Amino acid sequence: MKIALAQLNYIIGDFNFNTQKIISTVHEAKRKGADLVVFAELCVCGYPPRDFLEFSEFIELCENAAQQIAKECQDIACIIGLPTRNPKIQGKDLFNSAYFIEQGSVKAVVNKALLPNYDVFDEYRYFEPAVDFKCVEFMGYKIALTVCEDLWNINDNPMYVTCPMDVLSLEKPDLMINIAASPFAYNHDEERVLILGDNCRKYQLPLFYVNQVGAQTEIIFDGGSLVFGKEGQLLDEMTYFTEELKIYEFDKGQVKGLKPIVHDPQSDIAQIHDAIILGIKDYFQKSGFTKAVLGLSGGIDSALVCALAAEALGAENIMAVLMPSEYSSDHSIQDALDLVMNLGCKHEVIAIKEATAAFQNMMKPVFKDLPFSVAEENMQARSRAIVLMAMSNKFGYILLNTSNKSECSVGYGTLYGDMAGAIGVLGDIYKTQVYKLANYINRERDIIPQNSIIKPPSAELRPGQKDSDSLPEYDVLDAILFQYIELKQSSASIINMGFDEALVRKVLKMVNVAEFKRNQAPPILRVSPKAFGMGRRMPIVGKYLS
C-alpha cells in the first residue's frame, strides 16, 4: 500500500480554496501512484475555526465540501478532517472527525476522543469526545486512525482518563495514522518526536503522522509530518514551514525503503525566524493585504521587524516611517536610514515635534504648571501612532507592531501609541532573543546596522532616557519573566533561584498589573510554549501578586 502524506496550508472558512487544494492534491497523489492520501485535522474548514463552529451553515458547507472531495476519490482513498454533527441530543452538538473516503463515498467516520482545552486549544467548547473506537480496513490492512491529541495521552502525568489506542490495539491493527493540527513552538518538535515515537514503542506499530502547515492569525503550524517504524525509530521527517506531498510504501508491517534517521532540529532562533516569516506572510496573504507600514526608530526592535517584514513581503512592499522628536538622537535617525538603504524598502521622514507641541499647548490650560511627566512622553508615542494610522488609512498599509515580549510583559509601552498595530511581530520574543534574532538576520551580511544592535535601548521620549532607567537589565528581567510566564513558577521559587527578592516581587507585580494593556494589544505571533493572547488568560481586575 502506498500512502501519501499531504502537508498543506489551509485558510479558515475558505471552503472553495481548501476543497480545490485537497482535490488537486488527491489527483496529484493518484498520478504518483498512491493508494491513500492523508490530510490534516479539520483540513476542510481550517484549524482553528473557533466560533464559526456555532453556525449551522458553516457545518453544512463542511459536509458539502467533503462530498465534493469524495466524488474525486476514484481508485484512490483519502482521509480528511472536518467537524460533523453529533446525532445524539445529549452532549455537544459536534464531533471533530476524520472521514475515510473510498470509491466516491465515506466508508468510515472516526471521531476525536481527547479534546484539548488548554493553552490555545478550546476544543471541548465545541466538540463531544468519542467513546467508541474501531479500526478502518483498507486493502487488507487494519488502520488505527486517530486525530491529533488522541496520541498524546502517553506520559507520566496523563491528562485524560481514556486512551483510544488502548482500545484500537485490541483489534490488532497493522499501522497507525494520525491527522493533526499541531501548533508551532520553538521547543515543540522535540516533544512531538518523543511522544509519537513512544506510541510506536508501546503498541509496536508503525505510524504515519501528518501535520498542517501555515499561520492562522497568531497561531503558526510548522508541518514537519513524520513517519515512524514500529520500534519507535524515526524514518522520515517532512519539510518544516513548507507545503509538501510525499509518498511512502507500506508492506507487511514495515515502511519500505527507509532507514532510521535522527531528529536534528534547527536552533531555536532559526525556527523562530522561519515561523515569523511564515506568520507575517500568511497574515497578509490570507487577509488580502500586500503592503505594511511601521515606525522605524533606529532601535533594534523596529529594525528587526522591518527586516523580517521585507523578507516576508518583499522590500518594495514595506513603508518605514521615521518620526523623530526633539529627543531623538542624530545617530538613531542615521541608523534607521542605514537600514532602509540595506533593505531597499520605502521610507518617509515625518517629524512629530509640531504635533506634540500642539497637543501640549492644547492641554496646557488643564495641566497648568504641573511638571513634565509620562503624560507628555506618551503624547509623543501617540502622535507617532496617529501618523502611522494615517499612512495606513490613506495608502492601504497594514501597521506592524514592534513591541517585544519583555516590554509586553511589564507594560513598558504606550497604549494607543507604540502598542498600536494589526499584528504583533515580536510580542512573543524576549529582548534577549531579539538580539539573537538580529544577529541571525545578519548571519551572511550586515542588514541590521551594528549600532542598532549594540547601543543601549531607549524609547527616546525624554532627554537621556534609557530602558534601564525603568527596567532591570534585560538578561535578568527576561530570566525572571521566563520562569513566571513560561514555567509558571511561584515568586518564592524564583527568589530561591537566587534572584533578588524585591526585584522579583516588583517584576511580577508589573506583569500582573499590565494585563489591561495586553488585553488591548494586537494579536501576537506565537512562537513560544506560552504566548500572550488566547494561550494565557488572566483577569484584568485581580490582586494576585499585584
Is the pLDDT at 307 greater than 70, yes or no?
yes
Of 328-337, 442-451, 515-524, 527-536, minimum mean pLDDT range:
328-337
Which of 21, 30, 41, 78 is an active site residue? Answer: 41
Instruction: Return the pLDDT at 286.
Output: 98
Which of 45, 148, 163, 408 is an active site residue? Answer: 148
Q: Are residues 148 and 222 in the same domain?
A: yes
Tell me what the mean pLDDT of segment 322-339 comes to. 87
pLDDT tens digits for range 209-264: 999 999 999 999 999 999 999 999 999 999 999 999 999 999 989 999 999 999 99
CB neighbour burial string for 489-516, b if at least 16 within 10 angstroms, e if fewer: bebeebbeeebeeeebeebbebbbebbe
Going by pLDDT thresholds of 50, 70 and 90, the confidence category of residue 23 is very high
Annotated binding site for ATP: 295-302, 402
Q: Are residues 291 and 381 in the same domain?
A: yes
Longest dimension (CA), the chain: 87
Q: Are residues 12 and 126 in the same domain?
A: yes
| Domain with 22 in it | 2-251
Please give the mean pLDDT across all residues of the chain.
95
Question: Strand pairing of 226-228 and 219-222?
Answer: unpaired
Of 148-157, 211-220, 411-420, minimum mean pLDDT range:
148-157
Tell me what the mean pLDDT of segment 488-499 comes to. 97
171 in a structural domain: yes
Tell me the sheet residues that pair with 143: 136, 175
Q: Are residues 301 and 234 in the same domain?
A: no
Going by pLDDT thresholds of 50, 70 and 90, the confidence category of residue 460 is low
Annotated binding site for L-glutamine: 118, 182
Cell of 503: 526585584
545 in a structural domain: no
Tell me what the mean pLDDT of segment 435-442 comes to. 98
Q: Are residues 339 and 238 in the same domain?
A: no
Residue 41: active-site member? yes
Is the pLDDT at 2 greater than 70, yes or no?
yes
pLDDT tens digits for range 71-87: 999 999 999 999 999 99
* Percent residues over pLDDT 90 in the chain: 93
Of 101-115, 318-332, 438-452, minimum mean pLDDT range:
318-332
Return the higher-pLDDT residue of 543 and 90. 90
* CA angle (525 as vertex; 194, 270 as ends), nearest 5: 55
Q: Are residues 363 and 441 in the same domain?
A: yes
300 in a structural domain: yes
Going by pLDDT thresholds of 50, 70 and 90, the confidence category of residue 462 is low
Q: Are residues 127 and 37 in the same domain?
A: yes
Going by pLDDT thresholds of 50, 70 and 90, the confidence category of residue 331 is confident
Tell me what the mean pLDDT of segment 24-28 comes to. 98
Annotated binding site: 118, 182, 295-302, 378, 402, 407, 517
pLDDT tens digits for range 504-533: 999 999 999 999 999 999 999 999 999 999
Q: CB under 8 Å to 528, separation ≥6 — which residues? A: 185, 186, 405, 428, 429, 486
Is the pLDDT at 470 greater than 80, yes or no?
no
Is residue 258 within 8 A of residue 252, CB to CB? The reply is: no
Nearest to 505 by CA among 540, 544, 473: 544
> DSSP string spanning 326-363?
TT--HHHHHHHHHHHHHHT-EEEE---HHHHHHHHHHH
Q: Are residues 281 and 200 in the same domain?
A: no
Annotated binding site for deamido-NAD(+): 378, 407, 517
Residue 246: active-site member? no
371 in a structural domain: yes
Instruction: Return the pLDDT at 543.
Output: 82
Instruction: Return the pLDDT at 456.
Output: 82
Which of 2, 112, 286, 431 is an active site residue? Answer: 112
Question: How many domains are there within the chain?
Answer: 2
Is the pLDDT at 469 greater than 80, yes or no?
no
